[in-house]
A and B are shown apart, each in its own frame.
Chain A
């Protein structure tokens, strides 16, 4: 069974500062892999590398068994990113933002797709509102919508629920659980045990740029996860 996304011995340096070293993992279709770790552990760097926004200094990432080089366009079509930054234009409306992206990705049935996504994230009534007039929660929902617009096979999430209230987080978790159910692969970087326990099938603990623990979390509850994390963190400190 070939992995949908596979990182092989990834290394990344900012000058002489090591951000990632020897990082390897693989995710199969339908899995949700959570990357957990303290600030500075390298989660965002890894997500950015997987998203092709950053190039790795060592190692490589394979998507659907293919290397990135030479297959950029195809691979990018099947990647989506939701970060705590919106990746949207403040002066455009909800609809204009989405339409822009449908054009960039040359999606067929653009208008239909826009309608679907807007309904999916619950922004149907705000279609013609300019982005910066929306609340933070609505903006983040649109960001999630934008990432789903082209129906990516791999969804990358970097602390996607920042700024959302509990109710909204619950709603978005439901949404993501549905997506995960559709044989999509999700890689999420998160601090939040509750969200990880709700969504993830596998967890990777990152510490100082390396993977120090990897395990499946079928049926794990939030408390056990938090305990395991604390143990890892204190081991790292000593």
Chain B
């Protein structure tokens, strides 16, 4: 039980820090909107932007903006070497991983709350489907799980900002494909039955990284 409490405490601590400083979330929000706008400019600016482009624009923008949040996640622990405090405490180290991944997930969801209606507005379609919420929940969770894990590695490096996207993007591709296709399927661009496959793939990816976190996080964070 104390394991889950530890996860919860770390989760709350990350949220509390951000609420007080507010520096990261606002940057992420601005970044994500800029990304959408830039994407839109790359398409033909006719009245009916392709529906297919909606899904891609949405997820790629989230991916890019997400790296800001991930970088900050362990940046918090680097400052004043707060990580050492966590490592010396009697908690299981994977709790650090899950607490932070949860916090990053919340930030990604906050981004989505802004991004989805905005993109819907520009693409002139109604994005408010229950199933789309599910896709976003699963997709951002996977991104957060994978990203938090890799940022634990890159946070210790010299050029950390450079490395995170390089390490993250090749490995996040299956998640990205599934999320984009699922989003497209929900909004009517896809074949019936396809949605189930993609949702399964998203869930599978999430479970995979939960397992990886449990098994390998200690190796990565302990010297």
Contact = CB atoms under 8 A, between A and B. Distances in A.
Nearest to B77: A89
A93 to B, nearest CB: 8
B76 A86 contact: no
Given A72-B90, A103-B5, A106-B2, A89 B81 contact: no
Given A76-B89, A104-B89, A55 B223 contact: yes
Contacts of A103: 5-6, 9
Interface string B16-29: 11101100000000
Is chain B's binding surface mostly helix, strand, loop or mixed? helix
A76 B90 contact: yes
Given A85-B80, A89-B13, A101 B89 contact: yes
A86 B223 CA distance: 19
Contacts of A43: none
The size class of the interface chain A forms with chain B is 20 to 34
Contact of B90 (A77, A83, A87, A100): A77
Contacts of A83: 81, 84
A1 interface: no
A92 B81 contact: no
A72 B218 CA distance: 13
Contacts of A74: 90
Given A73-B90, A101-B85, A130-B20, A90 B80 contact: yes
A184 interface: no
Contact of A54 (B20, B82, B223): B223
A52 B223 contact: no
Contacts of A87: 80-82, 84-85
Nearest to B21: A91
Contacts of B82: 86-89
Nearest to A54: B223
Closest 6 CB pairs of A and B: A87-B85, A85-B81, A86-B80, A91-B17, A73-B90, A104-B89
22 contacts: A51-B84, A53-B84, A53-B87, A53-B88, A72-B90, A74-B90, A76-B88, A77-B90, A85-B81, A86-B81, A87-B82, A87-B84, A88-B82, A89-B76, A91-B16, A100-B13, A101-B85, A103-B6, A103-B9, A104-B91, A130-B20, A146-B85
Interface of B: 2, 5-6, 9, 13, 16-18, 20-21, 76, 79-82, 84-91, 222-223
Given A77-B90, A90-B79, A105-B90, 13 more contacts: A51-B88, A53-B84, A55-B222, A76-B89, A86-B81, A86-B82, A87-B82, A89-B13, A92-B17, A103-B9, A104-B86, A104-B91, A146-B85
